[in-house]
Amino acid sequence: MFPKPLDITMSSQKPLMIFTLSLLLLLAGPHETDARLQHRSVPTIGTKRDASDQSLTQVLVARDIITLSIGGVKNTKKFVEMIPKLKSVQQTPNSDPSNLLNCVDGLFDSLSNLESVLKRLRHLKDPYVAYDTRELRRVEGRIMGISGTCRYALKDTDGVVTQMLNSNLADVAMLINSVERAIFGIGVTDKGAKIP
C-alpha cells in the first residue's frame, strides 16, 4: 500500500550532483534570464547595491560549488580506497601488488591534498584564493599522472574497475573546472581576489 522508499546509491548521486553543479553555475553566471531580474542592467541610483547583491550571490554560489566538490572528492577517495579490496582485483593473475599500491597511495594522497585545497578555498580569503586556484591545477595534473600508473596496475583486471576509476577521475576534473569557473566569476585574478 505504501510507496517504496527511494534507493539513493552512490551511482544515482552522480547525476544529481552534476545537475546541481550545473544549476549552480548557471545561477552564478554573468547573465540573468529571469525577467524579474533584468531591471538590474538598467542604471539606476541603486545600481551599486544591486551589483553588490549580485556579487554576494556569486560568492555564495561559489562556496556551494566548493562544498559539493568536497563531497565529490570524498566519494572518489572512498572508491580508490576500496579498489584493493575488490575480489576481481585480488584474484587477478600476473598483477604486481606494488603497482596497485603506488596507484592507490598516490591517488589517495593527491585526492586528500585536493580536499584540503578545496577546504581552504571555501573560505575565499583574499590573499590565498589565487594561490589555491593555481594549486587546483597542479593537483589535477598529479592525479591525471597517477591515473596512468593505475591503468597499468589494473590492466589485467576486469575492465569495469578501470572504467569506474576513469569515470570518478573525470568527475574530479569536472569538479575542479566548476570550482575554477565559479571563483573566476567572482573576480579572482592572478594578483588576488576582488571578493566583497
For 24-74, write each residue's pLDDT tens digit. Answer: 555 555 543 344 334 333 333 344 555 577 788 888 999 999 999 999 999
Q: What are phi and psi of 14, to 5 degrees?
A: -60, -50
For 79-109, write each residue's pLDDT tens digit. Answer: 999 999 998 888 877 777 888 999 999 999 9
What confidence score (pLDDT) does residue 29 get?
54
Whose cell is 549552480? That residue is 24
Q: What are phi and psi of 147, to 5 degrees?
A: -60, -30
Question: What would be the CATH architecture of the domain defined by 51-185?
Answer: Up-down Bundle (1.20)
Contact 149, 103 (CB under 8 A): yes
Query: Which three cell numbers mark 18?
Result: 552534476
What confidence score (pLDDT) does residue 93 get?
75
Quote the mean pLDDT of the chain: 78
Q: Which H helix or E strand runs over 96?
A: none
Can you tell me the mean pLDDT for 135-157?
91
- The SS3 call for residue 189 is strand
Residue among 157, 66, 68, 180 nearest 104 (CA):
157
Domain ranges of the chain: 51-185
How far lies 125's CA from each of 111, 129, 195, in Å?
A: 22, 6, 8
- Other residues' Cβ atoms within 10 Å of the Cβ of residue 134: 13
Range 53-90 burial, b when 16+ CB lie within 10 A, else e? ebbeebbebbbbbbebbbebbebbbebbeebeebeebe
For 108-138, write each residue's pLDDT tens digit. Answer: 999 999 999 999 999 887 778 888 989 999 9
Q: Rounded to the nearest 5 degrees, what angle is found at the Cα of 179, between the Cα atoms of 173 and 183?
A: 145
